[in-house]
Structures are given as C-alpha cells and as structure tokens.
A and B are shown apart, each in its own frame.
Chain A
Amino acid sequence: MPEQTREKLLEVRDLHVVFGKGKKRFEAIKGVSFDIYQGETFGLVGESGSGKTTIGRTIIRINEATSGEIIYRGKRISGKLDKATDREIVRKIQMIFQDPMSSLNERAKVDYIVSEGLYNLKNFASEEERQRRVRKAMLDVGLPPEFATRFPHEFSGGQRQRIGVARVLVMQPELIIADEPISALDVSIRAQVLNLLSELQKDYGLTYLFIAHDLSIMRFITDRLAVIHKGIIVELAETEKLFRHPLHPYTKALLSAIPQPDPLTEKDKTAMVYDPSRHNYESSAPKWLEMEEGHFVLANEEESLVYRKELN
C-alpha cells in the first residue's frame, strides 16, 4: 500500500462490547483499537468465540458498543446519530454474511432481495432507476439480470453468495464487512467468490473488512491482518510480515495449524498449542507495542525483549 493513499477510513478506538447483566455479564470485546485505510483489505482472524464477528457487527451497528468509539471518515458513528448520518452510514457500510442459505429471504424474489436496501433508504428517483441499478449489480457479480425473477432456492451456493454480494453493491458502499463469506462454500466455488470480491475492489475502489478463521485464505486476500484472541487483538501487521515473523505465541499456534496442500511437509508437522498461562501478566502487564514498522504485538517488558531478538 503506497504511503500517499493511506487515508484512514475507519477508526476503532478502545471498543468494549458487553452482553448480559449481573451474573450473566460477558465481556465479548475487551478494548480493541485498529484503523482501516481507504482501499485496503483488512483481516480479522481468530477462533470461534474470539469476538471477531462481534466487532464486525458493532461497526455496522447490529450490536451496540458498550464503550469506546467507532469513527468513520473523522465522524463518530457509534452511539446516537442524527438521521442524516444514520442514512449515510447505512448506505456506505454494508455487510456480506457467512451463510448464503440463511441470509437471503426465501420468500422474496431476487429482484426484491437486491433492492431491499434501496427501498429502505428510498434513494432512487424512479422505478426505472431502481431496475437499472439492480440490473447493474447483478451483472457486476456475474449473474444474468433475468434471474431477478427467481427465488433464492433456485440457485446454487456460489450463486446465492453472489446475490448476497449484489444486494450490497447496489447500495454503492465504501466499506464492505465480509463475515466468513466463503467458509460455507465448496473449494472450487470459493475461488470464484474470492476472485469476484477482488475484482470488485479494483473496479470500485472498495475497502474490505474481512472476517475469517481460515488463515490460508487471509494470506491470499488481505493486506493487513489482526489476530484476535478472547476479545483482545494480540498481534497486528501487514499480512506478509505476520506470516513471515509471527511473534505472539497465539499467532504462531494459529499459523502452525493451517493445513498445507503439501503431503511431504504436512505429514510430519505437529501443531503448536497455545497456553495463555505462559504469560506472566500478573507481575508485569502487557502493552500494545510496535516491534517493527506497522507490526504491533501485545507483550509485557520481558516478552518484548524476546520478540525483538526474534526479529533481528
């Protein structure tokens, strides 16, 4: 990513999300901060229950932020918003969901599914304009516009995910949050959807927040990657840097667990196991430290010395 284009599109500042009250209180996100720059693909990776989806859902305001701020183009978008900002954000930040089977309304035709966002915001001048935009979105995702009169059950998994992308595109968004968009799909179809997403990014200058647990896909698609564990980001770096010099033991464990399509190396590989008790955080609290340019890790004094040595 060249320096001059590094304009911050989204900033997340010390985000906390708490579910439940009293005895059932559960802190899903425990103070997360990161920036997403214009035009990049930012990845959030972690195991189930780590809170990666909650972050995505909080940005798009499905979940409420308990404390902390989310700033979009310098404007605060968490908490109470005035009507105009609300409409603007709804249009500009859109989300692609994991399961194309359950995220599409079974009883609606594709035409309605794709234009639902337009109807909600009423931001089209005429019926003709709406149809033109639906048509364009369908063509963009590689579906024949004639399919608009069909129902979701008439489509295969890959085509259904294309509909999921089309209904997002029709809004002309700037930031797309993709929550495990391909994990429910077959290998060969995964490639098609990944290609589609990267082509659309080029054509429309889109910014992606990509949420997934599959690191092999993350390496292929993201520019920068944050590793999240139990509601805290433990490491953040440019994707290649992170893969080449992982520092945090959790990142290392995750990387060692990726299955490689290479039987010679794979057969005698043993996966590392991450044990959080290895950190000595009672006596010395961890801080968010920059170890090399753009490569951040959560570490205390002692660990940071070890990590620095590893890098040199």
Chain B
Amino acid sequence: MENDNILSVKNLEVKFNLRGQVLTAIRGISLDLYKGESLAIVGESGSGKSVFTKTFMGMLDQNGSVTAGEILYKGMDLAKFKSEKEWLRIRGKEIAMVFQDPMTSLNPLKPVGKQIQEALEMHQRLKGKAARKRTIEILNDVGIPLPEMRYKQYPHEFSGGMRQRAVIATAIACRPNILICDEPTTALDVTIQAQIIELLRGLQKKYDLTIVYITHDLGVVAKVAERIAVMYAGDIIEIGTCNEIFYHAQHPYTWALLSSLPQLGVKGELLYSIKGTPPNLFKEIKGDAFAPRNPKALNIDFLIRPPYFQVSPTHFAKTWLLDPRAPRIDPPGTIKRLQDKWKEIKPNA
C-alpha cells in the first residue's frame, strides 16, 4: 500500500464548554490518513470518535472548538477555518459524511431524489435535466432498483436499508475524496448490514474513496477495515493494520474490548467485561487513562502518560507494557487464542 497522505492530523485538541466547565474531548491526537485506504475508528461511546471526525468538517457543536493542533488537507489547515463560507468548500465536496440513523438524516418532507439533486445543484453547478439525470445515475450506483420511480418517492416509502442507500447517495453525490461513515450499519438488520457494507466497499473502488468508519462493532471492522485506530478517552491508544489489532494487540484496553465480544465468549462462562466507567473528561487525566479500570496496571500507568511505542512500521500503541523495563504481562485467555493465529500469519515474528 502506498502511503500518500490525504489528510494529516497533528496534536489535535478539542475542548467543550459546558455550563462553565471545560471538557477536553480530544486530548492530542496525531493521525495520518492514507489516500484510498479504509480506516476504522473504534471505541466506546464517549471516547470522542465522532467528535474527532466532526472536526474534519467543521461540524462541532457551538460550544466546542479546536484549541490546539492542525488538520492538514490539500495544503490547508482546516483547524484554522472560521467562517461557514470556508467550510462550504470542504463539506460535502471534499469530505462527506454518512450518519448512523437514516431516519433522521433525510428530510421527510422532500422526495428523496430532490434531496440528492439539491447537493448536486449546490456544489456541482448542474441544473435541471442534467442534475436529474446524474441523480438517477447515483441512485442506480447505490443499488436502488427502479431509480426513476424512486426519485419521486418520499423517505417514508423507503425501507431502512434503502433509506441508508439514499443517504449514501447524497454523501457521494459531489464526488468527495474522503467519506466518513458514522456507525453506518448500527441501526440496521444483520442481513441488510452485510449489503450496505458490500455497497460501501464497491463504491470505494469505483470512486477511489478514502473511507473512515466510526463504529463500536468489531465484527464489521474485521470485514471493512485495512487499518484500525482504537480510541479511549479522547486519544488513539493503539493503531495498526486490521490483522495487527485483531491478532497482535498490545494495549490492555484493546484486549478488554476484544475479550468482551460475545462471538469470542465460551457458553456457560461469564463474558469478560470491563470494570468501572470511562474517566471524567472534565478533569485532567494523569498517566494512562485506562489505568483505573485495568486490574493489572503498573505504577507508572498512574503517573506518566505513555508515548507511542512502535511495534512494527505500521503498528503503534500507547502503553508502558511495551517499554523494555516493563514486566511481562500476558493478555487474557480469549486474546491468546487470537494471538495464536498471529503466529500462523507471521511464523518468524
């Protein structure tokens, strides 16, 4: 894979002002997004995965702002953008988003075709018949049968899966370079979930898209992602290729996340569950944010925030366990089973 950066985030920090209190939602993230890749960001709710990607499109809520760091895209620093006018050049055209719930992201009072056409007319200077023709092409591209008839229908006449296809159609209408999919399949049934994932993979090839998936479903991630970033308390604590994260995870939080999957559970035994609650982001976090919930945390985990340790050229993790001075701590049983596979993939590692 060629590592052409399409977007580069450097030391990003996002703060929210809530009733006089300051919440640090993103605590210094650096990330390079490669052209044409699919990256999955996983984490619990409240870990900041949505907030992080919203900063790429200037969609933070009123009380939130980027307080430090850069977001470099095509020679521009998106973190410095102030006015809506600047953002309109990026939003939809360069970077587009597919939201979780197709019920709420379409306008119920407008025919679906008109909503897609609107985006085309606004950004691509297509008018009238030409715009209509292109809209029908896009509907066809996202696998909506009978696009000419569907063009005139309202969202309530669409099933959940079809509605999500329509939302994807609006997102890709202006040929964006980067597509951010925020939990694109969570609200859908398993069978439809599989179809939507197939569709996104097909579109990625056809339109040469860079896709960022935001999800907490590790099963979906295994299917779509080339790289995975694991977020916890406003930071990416581990990042690597899909295989590296599933079969060779290093951070105790990634272990915990994988272990709690029911697919890996043994019937009759209790599932692994993470104790405690995520840290309070109103307070300053000392050391490794996951330490208070990690029964095997080291002393240093409570004192100093770990830097990235390099595991391989593509794999980095923020945990003191990778320091040469750290004691050897074995991952839990379920993880061991996954790591046995790693030995099969990389026999000499």
The chain A residues found within 8 Å of chain B, CB to CB, are 47-48, 156-157, 186-192, 194-195, 198-199, 213-217, 219-221, 240, 253-254, 256-264, 266-267, 269-271, 273-274
Contact = CB atoms under 8 A, between A and B. Distances in A.
B219, B264, B345 — which one has the most chain A CB atoms within 10 A of its CB? Answer: B219
Given A198-B270, A216-B262, A187 B191 contact: no
Given A259-B220, A263-B242, A266-B223, A188 B256 contact: yes
B300 interface: no
B320 interface: no
B191 A257 contact: yes
A190 B260 contact: yes
B214 to A, nearest CB: 13
Interface string B251-274: 000001110111111010011111
Given A47-B191, A260-B263, 12 more contacts: A187-B217, A187-B257, A191-B271, A219-B263, A220-B262, A253-B191, A259-B222, A261-B246, A266-B222, A266-B223, A267-B223, A270-B198
B198, B221, B223, B258 — which one has the most chain A CB atoms within 10 A of its CB? Answer: B223
B51 interface: no
* Majority secondary structure of chain A interface residues (helix, strand, loop or mixed): helix
Interface of B: 44-45, 160, 189-195, 198, 216-223, 225, 242-243, 246, 256-258, 260-265, 267, 270-274, 277, 338, 341, 345
B274 to A, nearest CB: 4
A157 B46 CA distance: 12
A60 B216 CA distance: 33
B160 A274 contact: no
Contacts of A48: 160, 189
Contacts of B220: 259
B297 to A, nearest CB: 17
B222 A262 contact: yes
Contact of A191 (B160, B194, B198, B260): B260
A157 B217 contact: no
Nearest to B242: A263
B191 A254 contact: yes
A194 B264 CA distance: 14
A240 to B, nearest CB: 8
Contacts of A220: 262-263, 265, 267, 271
B338 to A, nearest CB: 8
A260 B219 CA distance: 5
A8 to B, nearest CB: 23
Contacts of B219: 216, 258-261, 266
Contacts of B192: 47
B192, B225, B265, B272 — which one has the most chain A CB atoms within 10 A of its CB? Answer: B265
A274 B267 CA distance: 29
16 contacts: A47-B189, A47-B191, A186-B44, A187-B261, A190-B260, A191-B271, A191-B272, A192-B274, A195-B271, A217-B262, A220-B263, A221-B262, A259-B190, A263-B246, A267-B222, A270-B198
B262 A264 contact: no
Contacts of A240: 267
